[in-house]
Structure 1
Amino acid sequence: MIKRLSLVLAAQIKQRAPDHPGSIAVMAYSISFIINMMSVILLTLLAGIATGHIEDTITVLVAFALLRQASGGYHLKSGITCIAVSTALLSLLALTPNLSDGLLLAVNIVSIAIVAIFSPSQIEKQTRIPPRYFPLLKAISTIIVASNFFIGSSVLAVTFLAQAATLLMRGGVKNRE
């Protein structure tokens, strides 16, 4: 569905701007990425409004995206599945109750260990950043997670843990269908 809509939109753009250097395939991929991302954001925000947790929802959206950009992670095989799973996961993360100090510390430690060991993960085909900068991405990812030792947010802790868990998964393919 997303792939079809993206192709139609890309073809219309190419028809109206035939001299544009981008191919229909490249434009369709970019459009599918935008549709996917905006769908997750919009649906998650609507869930946050419906549950009365809009501030936590915004925190989850920003924190997850920020860490994901630096650390990479598993990509689901279809766009529709990505939208459904991402929206459900992010919406649930926003409902996190306050964790005890001990549990908060444990979650932060587990997250930082996973990120420090496994990031960046599965970004080779997703970025133009040369591999020589991957150690810097690892450091940035680790710093992002470590920031929660000072912030002390339960919502951030579980969000970082969820994103860190995607670093452990293998075999996903980004295929915006």
Structure 2
Amino acid sequence: MLLYLSNKIAVYIKNVVPDHPASVAVLRYSLSFILNTVLIILLTLGMSFVTGRTKEAVIILTAFALLRQVSGGIHLKSGDLCIIVTSAAFTIMSLIDLGSEPIFLLNLFSLLLVLLFSPSRIDRQTRIPKKYYPLLKIISAAFVLTNFYWASATLAITFFAQAATLIRLKGGEQYVEG
């Protein structure tokens, strides 16, 4: 569905502006990222209105995206699968309430994962030189450390979910089959 929509829009743009320097393939590729993000946000917020957990969903969408930008993480092979899995996961995460001990433990595990594995799988997705990767690790850890102060269950779950996507075992693939 995502590739179909991206292609339809790219072809439309190219027909309306035939002299545009970007090819249909480049437009389709860029649009697929935009649509992926927009659809995840819309589905997650739509479900949050149904569950009454909109505040939590907004926190999850924001915190996950911020940590992911500096720490990286695994990607699903299909954009459609990414939309479904991410929206479902975010909705489920928004429903979870935790006490102070689980929050502390999730923060601790998240910090450990970030320190061990971040940044992960960003080599071909960023223009940031490798010499700055240690700084990305520090920024990632700083994000997680803030929740030792806030003690938010939503942030603890979100940071842990994102940190888990950083794990890369020997011989691990760039993408997960869906």
- C-alpha displacement of 1:133: 1.4
- C-alpha displacement of 1:56: 0.7
SS state of the match for residue 76, structure 2?
coil
2:127 is aligned to 128
Are residue 95 (structure 1) and residue 95 (structure 2) matched?
yes
Q: Give the whole-Å Cα distance in 2 for the aligned partners of 1:20 and 1:173.
A: 32
- C-alpha displacement of 1:100: 2.5
2:36 is aligned to 36
- C-alpha displacement of 1:174: 8.8
Report 1:1-177 matches (<5 A): 1-97=1-97, 99-169=98-168, 170-173=172-175
- C-alpha displacement of 1:117: 1.1
SS state of the match for residue 147, structure 1?
helix
- C-alpha displacement of 1:163: 0.4
SS state of the match for residue 159, structure 1?
helix
Structure 1 counterpart of 2:126, one-letter code: T
SS state of the match for residue 129, structure 1?
coil
SS state of the match for residue 168, structure 1?
coil
Q: Give the whole-Å Cα distance in 2 for the aligned partners of 1:96 and 1:171.
A: 30
Q: Which runs of 5+ in 2 are unaligned?
A: none
Q: Give the whole-Å Cα distance in 2 for the aligned partners of 1:159 and 1:141.
A: 13
Moved more, 100-109 or 145-154: 100-109
- C-alpha displacement of 1:128: 1.6
Q: Give the whole-Å Cα distance in 2 for the aligned partners of 1:80 and 1:104.
A: 31
Cα displacement string for residues 91-140 of structure 1 (whole angstroms, at most 9, x for unaligned residues): 1111111x222221111111001001100101111112121211111111
Cα displacement string for residues 17-71 of structure 1 (whole angstroms, at most 9, x for unaligned residues): 2222212111101111111111110000011110011101111110111111111
Q: Give the whole-Å Cα distance in 1 for the aligned partners of 2:25 and 2:72.
A: 24
Q: Give the whole-Å Cα distance in 2 for the aligned partners of 1:142 and 1:12.
A: 43
Q: What TM-score do you get using the length of structure 2 for normalisation? A: 0.92
Q: What is the identity percentage for the equivalent residue pairs of Structure 1 and Structure 2? A: 47
Q: Give the whole-Å Cα distance in 2 for the aligned partners of 1:166 and 1:65.
A: 13
Q: What TM-score do you get using the length of structure 1 for normalisation? A: 0.93
* Paired residue total: 174
Cα displacement string for residues 61-94 of structure 1 (whole angstroms, at most 9, x for unaligned residues): 1011111111110100101100110001001111
SS state of the match for residue 135, structure 2?
helix
- C-alpha displacement of 1:172: 4.0
Structure 2 counterpart of 1:15, one-letter code: N
Structure 2 counterpart of 1:100, one-letter code: G
